[in-house]
Structure 1
Amino acid sequence: MDTAELIVTTVGLSLAVLVIWYFFVAPHQVVSAVSSSTGVQQIDVTVKGGYSPDVIEVEQGKPVQLHFYRDEDASCSEEIVFPEFNIRRELPAFQTTLIELLPQQAGRFSFTCGMGMLRGSLVVK
């Protein structure tokens, strides 16, 4: 192996390790939803190159309102998908979109952008 091949291989492996760390090991911001006086659990989520927070904890059997504010116009974040809840919504740029759902069973449910690149989780306890 010559020097150029060695450099390309080393950079490629380093990038692969970085991607694995980012998606599977990196710490995620976990936030518990706040219940209003009516018992509805509410949380504000900012969409800008990802979801913040990207892990949302809620209680089972109580209605949930997620307020997604899309603070960008990147094409990847135009849509949000909750596959287990059969929810797919457009997220207009620089606007807040309300997603309402009622989690009936405990578990971890993913949500993604329409392309599947941005990821988050709804943890129902």
Structure 2
Amino acid sequence: MTIKQSANITVDGGYQPAKIVLKAGVPADLTFTRVSDAGCLDQVHSAALKFSRDLPLNQPQTVTVDTSTPGEFPFSCGMDMFFGKVVVQP
């Protein structure tokens, strides 16, 4: 049985929660659900975590993130106005 971490992030005028804490070395999925069409939150991306995803309204979008390296990894909206971070702990 494979153990996997997951986090649900609601996108509504920002990211709730804006800080996701994960354990290093355990595969992890982040699921973003945009519930408001206000602002520039129709896309989320992270160069550090190597993902970019469009966020259609009310349609959960899941990305798998690499947790092999501990640290703090930012993510943001398409215009880099709203931010969150993934903290990978040893």
Give unmatched runs, 5+ long, in structure 2. Answer: none
Larger Rg: 1
1:49 is matched with 13
1:62 pairs with 10, 26, 31, which one? 26
TM-score for the superposition, normalised by structure 1: 0.67
Off by >6 Å, runs of 4+ in structure 1: none
Shift, 1:74, TM fit: 2.4
**Identical-pair percentage:** 35
Distance in 2 between the 1:75 and 1:50 partners? 9
Give unmatched runs, 5+ long, in structure 1. Answer: 1-36
Shift, 1:95, TM fit: 1.1
Structure with higher helix content:
1
Structure with higher strand content:
2
Matched residues, number: 89
1:84 pairs with 48, 55, 58, which one? 48
TM-score for the superposition, normalised by structure 2: 0.92
1:20 is matched with none
| Greater relative contact order (Cα < 8 A, sep 6+) | 2
